[in-house]
Amino acid sequence: MMKSIIERLGIQTSHETELINITETVRDLVANSGVTSGTALVLTLHTTTAITVNEGLADLEDDIIAALERLVPAEHTYRHARFLHSDGQMAVNAPSHIRGALLGMQVMFPIENGCMIMGARQTIYLVELDGPSFRNVVVQIIGA
């Protein structure tokens, strides 16, 4: 019988920009879900974070951060640089939003025999782009 399971992860980030490896957590959720055939969707609920997949190496993590900072510089004139009345805060994080838009908010993996099909070097990252903050990630496991 087809089922859909929603799991919510709360993650405390510590830095303005960082890649946090959440692969094992997602794998465990899939393994414990009882779903043997289906898909796992991993998505962030924020617009200044991203979900991405890459090789889990510290040097690549540094390179990705450096590339994002080059592509979307902190020091630039952005229109999103004003008091946001709906928040009661200054909105001065346009670079964080734009970097998030470049990376995307979700990834999906197939599930076969109760495990995610992943490349040997693939690592799932929550990418913090405006931390430190408490972040929410949702994992939806769909299948039978």
Partner 1 sequence: MIDFHTHPVMIKELVDSDPELARAVRDVFGLYMPPQPLVTFLDEMTEAGVDRAVLLPLDCTTAHNCRIVSNEAVAELAAKHPRFIGFASVDPGARNAPKELERAVRELGLCGLKLDPAIQRFAIEDKDRAYPLYQLCSELRIPLVMHCGLSWAPSGLARLARPILLEEVAQAFPELRLVIAHWGWPWIDEALMLALKYRNIYLDTSIVYSGMPVDTLQKVIADHIGCSILEASLPNQVLFATNYPRVDMRRMVRGIRALGLSPSTQEKLFEGNARLLLDRRVSG
- Which residues of the shown chain bind partner 1 in the complex (CB under 8 A)? 12-16, 74-75, 77-78, 81-83, 86-90, 92-93, 130-134
In angstroms, what is the minimal distance from the CB of 22 to partner 1? 19
Q: Which token pair is 115?
A: 């495990």
Distance CA 135, CA 10 (A): 6
Angle at 131 between CA 126 and CA 132, to 5 degrees: 105
Residue 73 or 110 with smaller CB distance to partner 1: 73
In angstroms, what is the minimal distance from the CB of 9 to partner 1? 15
In angstroms, what is the minimal distance from the CB of 74 to partner 1? 7
Q: With beta carbons less than 8 A apart as the criterion, state whether 128 and 65 touch.
A: no
In angstroms, what is the minimal distance from the CB of 26 to partner 1? 23
Q: What's the distance, CA 84 to chain centroid?
A: 25
H/E stretch holding 80 reads none
In angstroms, what is the minimal distance from the CB of 100 to partner 1? 16
Residue 5 or 91 with smaller CB distance to partner 1: 91
Residue 127 or 141 with smaller CB distance to partner 1: 127
What Rg value do the Cα atoms of the chain yield, rounded? 17
Residue 31 or 83 with smaller CB distance to partner 1: 83
Residue 3 or 15 with smaller CB distance to partner 1: 15
Q: What's the distance, CA 22 to chain centroid?
A: 9
Distance CA 28, CA 30 (A): 5
